[in-house]
Amino acid sequence: MPRSSLRALALAAPLALALTACGGADDKTDAPAKGQVKETAPAGVAHQHTVVEAEIAARGGETKAGEYRIGYIVEAAEPWFESKGGKSGEHAEHGMDGELVNREPAKDETHHIEIIPFEAKTGRIVPNVPIRLEVVDSKGKVVQAQDLNFYYAEFFHYANNFSIPKDGKYTLRATLQAPTFLRHGASGEKPALSEKVTATFRDVELKSES
């Protein structure tokens, strides 16, 4: 994905994290107490979160719903790799077997709209979430609704390309079903992330970037 405008910012956090983890920067005030382990994150994880936070701030927004903090990002329509002769929705269900080919945006696709569901209490990006995104115009009409695909990029996210007929302000309505993964837990506990939620983002400016 084209992220060049934010990479300089994104590289700063992993470098600082690495210096701290290696005992650099002469900062002894944050040294762990005897018997404690200083918490660190792999550089790739720190980089992922630095980039996603910068892009939500620059090209999107966020809200809270249930156990989630949910962000969105709007970009120009983008390409991706998919199985030769298949469709993205089928890949999500049946995997990515076979030859992968680059799928360029269709001529009428104008925007790549991303949804990022974080578990609010941990900050982790949640996998295996079936998400349907509706783009609603000022009159309440659903201009387009699509199931989102899960993407590997500088940060994991859910998205699809959309065809927006004209520039203007729209409402994005994302419905998140309960993730399909299994959950550990004791009998009698409420399973984590087990409820359907809807996130609504109003007055989102969608302009053609072509």
Q: How many domains does the chain have?
A: 1
Residue 39: per-residue pLDDT: 74
Q: Identify the pLDDT of residue 143.
A: 98
Which of the four pLDDT bands, split at 50, 70 and 90, describes residue 30?
Answer: low
Distances in Å between the alpha carbon of 15 and those of 26, 47, 50? Answer: 15, 9, 12
Within a domain: 39 = no
- Is residue 196 domain-resident? yes
Query: Is 59 a residue whose pLDDT tops 80?
Result: yes
Question: Is 87 a residue whose pLDDT tops 80?
Answer: no
Q: What residue numbers bound the domain in which 174 lies?
A: 61-206
Average pLDDT, the chain: 85
- Per the CB < 8 A criterion, the answer to whether 179 and 185 are in contact is no
pLDDT digits (tens, 9 = 90+) for 146-174: 999 999 999 999 999 999 999 999 999 99
Distance between CA atoms of residues 113 and 134, nearest Å:
10
CA separation for the pair 99, 52 (Å, rounded): 29
Let me know if residue 41 belongs to a domain: no
Tokens of 51: 């980039």
- What per-residue confidence (pLDDT) applies to 98? 80
First to last CA, the chain: 16
Residue 16's pLDDT is what?
41
Sign of the torsion angle spanned by Cα atoms 153, 155, 158, 163 = negative
The answer to the question of residue 127 being in a domain is yes
- Percentage above 70 pLDDT, the chain: 76
- Residue 178 token pair: 């309960």
Asked, for residue 148, whether it belongs to a domain, the answer is yes
pLDDT band at 7 (very low <50, low <70, confident <90, very high): very low
Reported as a single tens digit per residue, the pLDDT across 112-131 is 999 999 999 999 999 999 99
Residue 6 covered by a domain: no
Domain assignment present for residue 47? The answer is no
Tell me the mean pLDDT in the region 16-36: 48
What is the model's pLDDT at position 84?
A: 85
Supply the CATH number for residue 94's domain.
2.60.40.2480
Q: Is residue 16 part of a domain?
A: no
What would the pLDDT profile of 188-202 be if each residue is shown by its tens digit? 999 999 999 999 999
Least confident of 49-53, 86-90, 99-103, 177-181: 86-90
Q: How confident is the model at residue 9 (pLDDT cuts 50, 70, 90)?
A: very low
Q: What is the mean pLDDT of residues 39-50?
A: 92
Which DSSP string corresponds to the chain?
A: ---GGGHHHHHHHHHHHHHHHTT-TT--TTPPPTT-------HHHHHHHHHHHHHHHHHEEEEEETTEEEEEEEEE---EEEETT--HHHHHHH---S-EEEEPPPTT--EEEEEEEEETTT-PBPPS--EEEEEE-TTS-EEEEEEPEEE-SSS-EEEEEE--SSSEEEEEEEEEPPPSS-----TTSPPTT-S-EEEEEEEEEE----
